[in-house]
Amino acid sequence: MIETEKPEHAIRQLATLLACARRIVAFTGAGISTESGIPDFRSPGGVWDKNQPIQYADFLADVEARRETWRRGMQTYPVVAAASPNAAHIALVELARRGQLTAVVTQNIDGLHLRAGHAPETVIELHGNAHGVRCLGCEMHAPRTAVHERVLAGESEPACIACGGILKPTTISFGEPMPRGPLAAAERAVRAADLMVVVGSSLVVYPAAGLPLLAAQLGTPVVIVNQTPTPLDERATLLVRGKAAELLPPAVELAAAIR
């Protein structure tokens, strides 16, 4: 593992790894989104510190749990909807434009990678996307904004307009089985990668956090760009401490010159 306290050294080392790679997979967590103004729900003082997460089983069984889900969304969703991609998101798009980055695997639900310009087929959202809702009965999908407006207008538990069924944001709740498709696609991308770049993830949420570990086990170089320690630090090829929006853009720019 290489770790340096000097940003200029870290940027050059990261740029060298990026320049040599042909099949990069980025793995992103809340840290890249906080730089766009989206709070980290897990941090002390965050949403889940003040309110216990609503379990999927409770959402299904209890009308009050569903109403509370939409009440919380009144505060949290506008923040997500108003956020814009930051320089780190844009730097990853540049790597994709060069043909080097093959996939973005993200734990985030904000959709900022898509807004930044990645092709939808290259973005794997392991925990879903906050910008949609689906009916648990007929599987009808609708934009979150339309349902949010209904809640603002006074509907405490908006129902499906097609069948009257339960509507749920298209995010993965606590206790809800993760769809097998995205996780399998992410694993395939990791197995084909020649470099994995972890950006802004604490690497404590499984099964998602198992993907960088898989890369390390396969012998693929793993770079971790994060402000705080992670359980995988000792397995990393390069450990870069700091903000992604300050470190990734110059590293991506320098990589182009090295190539």
Q: 3-state class of 186 per DSSP?
A: helix
Q: Is 170 exposed, middle or buried (0-12, 13-18, 19+ CB in 10 A)?
A: middle
pLDDT class for 48, splitting at 50, 70, 90? Answer: low
Query: What mean pLDDT is predicted for residues 93-118?
Result: 98
Co-location of 155 and 255 in the same domain = no
Rounded mean pLDDT, 201-229: 95
Q: Do 191 and 204 have their domain in common?
A: yes
Please check whether residues 16 and 48 belong to one and the same domain: no
So which residues are the catalytic ones? 127
pLDDT score at 199: 98
Distance CA 28, CA 120 (A): 16
% helix / strand / coil in the chain, to the nearest 5? 45, 20, 35
The two three-digit tokens of residue 155, written as one number: 């509907």
Is the model's pLDDT at 45 over the cut of 70? no
Structure confidence at residue 43 (pLDDT): 57
Do residues 203 and 253 both lie within one domain?
yes
pLDDT of residue 156: 96
Amino acid found at 15: A
Do 20 and 117 have their domain in common?
yes
pLDDT tens by residue, 136-148:
999 999 999 999 9
The CATH number covering residue 89 comes to 3.40.50.1220
On whether the CB atoms of residues 245 and 88 are closer than 8 A, the answer is yes
Secondary structure element (H or E) that encloses residue 167, with its range: strand 167-171
Structural domain range at position 215: 1-37+85-127+178-259
d(CA 133, CA 236): 37
Q: Are residues 76 and 142 in the same domain?
A: yes
Q: Which of 44-48, 145-149, 156-160, 245-249 has the lowest mean pLDDT?
A: 44-48
Residues 65 and 116 in one domain: no
87, 225 contact by CB (below 8 A): no
236 and 149 in a single domain? The answer is: no
Q: Are residues 226 and 259 in the same domain?
A: yes
Asked whether residue 18 falls in the same domain as residue 116, the answer is yes
For the chain, the domain total comes to 2
Residues 122 and 234 in one domain: yes
pLDDT at residue 3 is higher than 80: no
Q: Is residue 123 located within the same domain as residue 138?
A: no
CATH code assigned at 164: 3.30.1600.10
